[in-house]
């Protein structure tokens, strides 16, 4: 049987670029923060990394000329700083109501909590059900754990 030339790239076989690897790390960190109901500034992390990546390429080209991406050593960035609570300002907490099937009365199901990033003004919003919202506010039953 003859070997056929492939005119396509098998997705499983290709190497992921440095930017693709970082994007995957950003997505995983964002999902982790969403599960914990903590804001994460994906946009700032991506922009800071792109700045660092471009600066690294520029410096490598100045020193060595043309450089392959595989040979490029881009420093890691600390993704935890993009979910730091001091990075965000709480803007609003709005109630979410939903009509349950078979009922004409709306039911209070949770809150949308909105933040703005202090660095670049990026907006972030997340839904919290009532249990998560009580935990967020520090409420247990009718007692408040955190004084406001």
Place of tokens 């919202």: 133
Contact criterion met (CB below 8 Å) for 91 and 114? yes
Structural domain spans, the chain:
18-144
* φ and ψ at residue 50, rounded to 5 degrees: -60, -40
Burial category of 137 from C-beta neighbours within 10 Å (exposed 0-12, middle 13-18, buried 19 and up):
middle
Judge contact between 60 and 72, C-beta under 8 A.
yes
Residue 138's pLDDT is 78
Distance CA 26, CA 138 (A): 29
Residue 56 confidence (pLDDT): 86
Terminal-to-terminal C-alpha distance of the chain: 76
Residues 6 or more apart in contact with residue 15 via CB below 8 angstroms? 70
Tell me which residue of 126, 133, 112, 128 sits closest to 42, measured CA to CA: 126
Q: Are 112 and 125 in contact (CB under 8 A)?
A: yes
* pLDDT of res. 2: 52
Ordered per-residue pLDDT tens for the chain, 148 residues: 455 566 655 566 567 777 788 888 899 999 999 999 999 999 999 999 999 988 888 888 888 877 777 777 778 889 999 999 899 999 999 999 988 777 778 888 899 999 999 999 999 999 999 998 888 887 755 443 333 3
Contact 107, 100 (CB under 8 A): yes
Q: What is the pLDDT of residue 19?
A: 79
Torsions phi, psi for 7 (to 5 deg): -105, 25
pTM (whole model) above 0.85: no
């Amino acid at each position: 049987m003859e070997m056929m030339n492939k005119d396509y790239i098998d997705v499983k076989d290709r190497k992921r670029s440095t930017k693709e690897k970082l994007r995957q790390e950003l997505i995983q960190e964002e999902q982790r923060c969403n599960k914990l109901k903590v804001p994460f500034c994906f946009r700032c992390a991506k922009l800071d990394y792109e700045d660092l990546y471009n600066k690294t390429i520029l410096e490598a080209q100045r020193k060595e000329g043309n450089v392959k991406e595989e040979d490029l050593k881009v420093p890691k960035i600390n993704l935890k700083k993009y979910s730091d609570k001091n990075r965000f300002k709480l803007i609003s907490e709005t109630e979410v109501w939903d009509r349950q099937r078979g009922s004409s009365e709306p039911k209070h199901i949770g809150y949308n909590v909105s933040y703005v990033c202090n660095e670049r003004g990026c907006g972030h919003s997340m839904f919290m059900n009532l249990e998560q919202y009580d935990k967020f506010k520090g409420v247990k039953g009718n007692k408040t754990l955190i004084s406001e």
